[in-house]
């Protein structure tokens, strides 16, 4: 049966080996898929392709194995792993896509993205994002030692957790007007994204047209996958 799979926000970390194992089991079951799309935050953090990725090797090897079997694996950067680059893509044989990409999902033009750019009410995060994605900032950062970058990543992660606890819930969700603008810009009626960790299907009308936004869940307590076939779209939970 034809099926295309989408996952996001796995936040793989050596401190949670059971999630890495669950992801590897999931990949082993994807051998008959038409494609797998990973929509960002595959890792808890990624400090550059020279990262030794201690403890993450099983997941990286499983992605490479799936790609080598003939299943296309596509990746879009998240806010935790935007430093994934060409070396990682070559190692895993995955293809890195633009942060806003339109695909043909069994005849339906579909916009896919990580989703953080939709959270425009979180002004502080958007300012941080603009700086972090600046190549003039990334270049000197990548010249630092791995040890130094790991320390910076841990600091940013702790700061992010503290900031998240203090922010109102609605600020960390998507802005509906931004969603509508993105879908109108790309002329699509279906949007798939992650980032917010709020799995759901949202339907709305705009200019007498029907639109749908599907949000993928995270992999902290259990897995989340969107399974699409030519005739169905199912948001599933995976036991870990």
Q: What single string gives the DSSP state of each residue in 96-128?
A: EPPSSEEEEETTEEEEE--SGGG-TT-HHHHHH
Q: What is the C-alpha to C-alpha distance for residues 27 and 21, in angstroms, rounded to an integer?
A: 10
pLDDT score at 239: 84
Could you tell me the CATH number of the domain that includes residue 199?
Answer: 3.60.21.10
Q: What pLDDT shows up at residue 27? A: 97
The span from the CA of 225 to the CA of 237, in Å, is 7
pLDDT, position 106 = 97
Range of the domain at 233: 4-238
Neighbour count for residue 142 (Cβ, 10 Å): 15
C-alpha–C-alpha distance, residues 181 and 175, integer Å: 10
b/e map 59-74, b = 16+ CB within 10 Å: bbebbbbbbeeebebb
Total structural domains within the chain: 1
Predicted pLDDT at 28: 95
109: left (phi over 0), alpha (psi -120 to 50) or beta: beta
Kindly list the distances between the CA atom of residue 204 and the CA atoms of 28, 189, 212, in Å, as whole numbers in the listed order: 36, 10, 7
Dihedral sign computed on CA atoms, order 114, 115, 117, 121? negative
Please list the rounded mean pLDDT of every run of 10 residues in the chain (240 residues): 94 95 96 97 94 92 98 97 96 98 98 98 94 92 90 82 72 94 98 97 94 97 95 92
- Residue 52's pLDDT is 85
Helices 135-142 and 123-132: angle between axes, nearest 10 degrees: 60
Given this model, what pLDDT does residue 165 score? 67
pLDDT confidence of residue 169: 76
pLDDT at res. 158? 80
Burial degree of 79 (CB within 10 A; 0-12, 13-18, 19+): buried
Query: In the chain, which ranges are continuous DSSP H helix?
Result: 17-28, 57-68, 86-92, 123-132, 135-142, 146-166, 176-185
């Amino acid at each position: 049966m034809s099926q295309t799979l989408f996952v996001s926000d796995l936040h793989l970390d050596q401190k949670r080996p059971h999630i890495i194992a669950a992801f590897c089991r999931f990949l082993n079951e994807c051998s008959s898929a038409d494609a797998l799309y990973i929509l960002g935050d595959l890792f808890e953090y990624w400090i550059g392709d020279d990262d030794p990725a201690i403890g993450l090797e099983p997941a990286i090897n499983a992605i490479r194995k799936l790609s080598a079997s003939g299943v296309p694996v596509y990746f879009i950067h998240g806010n935790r792993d935007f430093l994934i680059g060409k070396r990682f893509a070559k190692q895993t044989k995955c293809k890195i896509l633009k942060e806003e990409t339109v695909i043909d999902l069994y005849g339906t033009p579909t916009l896919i993205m990580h989703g953080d750019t939709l959270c425009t009410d979180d002004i502080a995060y958007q300012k941080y994002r603009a700086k972090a994605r600046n190549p003039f900032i990334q270049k000197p950062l990548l010249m630092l030692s791995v040890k130094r970058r790991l320390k910076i990543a841990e600091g940013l992660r702790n700061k992010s957790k503290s900031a998240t606890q203090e922010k109102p819930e609605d600020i960390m969700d998507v802005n509906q007007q931004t969603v509508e603008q993105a879908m109108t810009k790309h002329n699509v009626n279906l949007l798939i994204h992650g980032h917010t960790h709020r799995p759901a299907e949202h339907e709305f009308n705009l200019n007498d047209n029907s639109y749908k936004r599907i949000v993928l869940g995270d992999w902290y307590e259990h897995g989340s996958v969107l399974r699409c076939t030519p005739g169905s779209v199912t948001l599933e939970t995976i036991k870990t």
